[in-house]
Amino acid sequence: MGEGVRGECLSAPGYSAFESALIFVIIGKYMNSEYWNKFYSGTFALDIPSQFCAMFCQEAKRGTKVVEFGCGNGRDSRVMASHGFRVLGVDSSVSAIGYCVERAGDNHGKSLQYLNSDVTKLDTEAVKSFVGDEPFYLYSRFFQHTITDDEQELMFSIFASIANSSVTAYFEFRNENDRDTRKVFGDHYRRYQTTEYFSGVLARYGFEVAYAVEGKGHAKYFDEDPHVSRVIARIHREAP
């Protein structure tokens, strides 16, 4: 892990440190996938947008395309579409995407589309087809802390290569200061990183950080008030 990212080093009996790490990554990824499928196949549903989505809709240029990575139950993507954005929601959970498509109704395939895809097996052609040569937004809320360091690097690499024109990315994620806080939903994998580390990774892929803030009060959920980072970063390119 890079500096600014904390994790525990575990070992499996009879295996080397490298083999142990590989085993735990594979098992952890399977369990994480199962967790989210079960989570979104239940009754958990929110129609009210996140505070982060409210900020985005206020600031972003309406009519522009948005790729929401880690769209979950679609609470934010549906609101974006209702405010004039053209949205592609991406999530690795089959249950989540099924729920999103059902809730989108007749709007699915118009201003609102959904794609079941994992960051490690992303259907890049589908994403490229959606964004085309136009400037677009990448929106990712509470997703970065659910993936590994390598998966985050891959995500940034993919979107930096997909962008034929300018891309503005909005991120909100639990940061290092949230490690020991109480969680309402506490049974899935989380990776904690500092805002500085995250910004440094973005910079390596050509993103320029335009805004960064961290603290509590940004993503309160009942009696849980996580310590989060909000980062807005851009790649500016002239359209071909």
Report pLDDT digits (tens) over 18-45. 444 443 444 444 445 564 455 555 545 5
Task: Pull the structure tokens for residue 211.
Answer: 């805004």
Return the exposure string of 11-41: e unless at least 16 CB atoms fall within 10 Å of the residue's CB, then b: eeeeeeeeebbeebeeeebeebbebbbebbe
Query: In this predicted structure, what is the pLDDT of residue 161?
Result: 94
Domain 15-235 of CATH type 3.40.630.30 = no
What value does the mean pLDDT of the chain take? 84
157 C-beta neighbours (distance < 10 Å), count: 13
3 band by pLDDT with thresholds 50, 70 and 90: low
Question: 124-131 and 149-162 helices cross at what angle (nearest 10)?
Answer: 40
Domain segments of the chain as ranges: 15-235
Query: In this predicted structure, what is the pLDDT of residue 55?
Result: 97
Find the range with the poorest average confidence among 52-56, 86-90, 95-99: 95-99
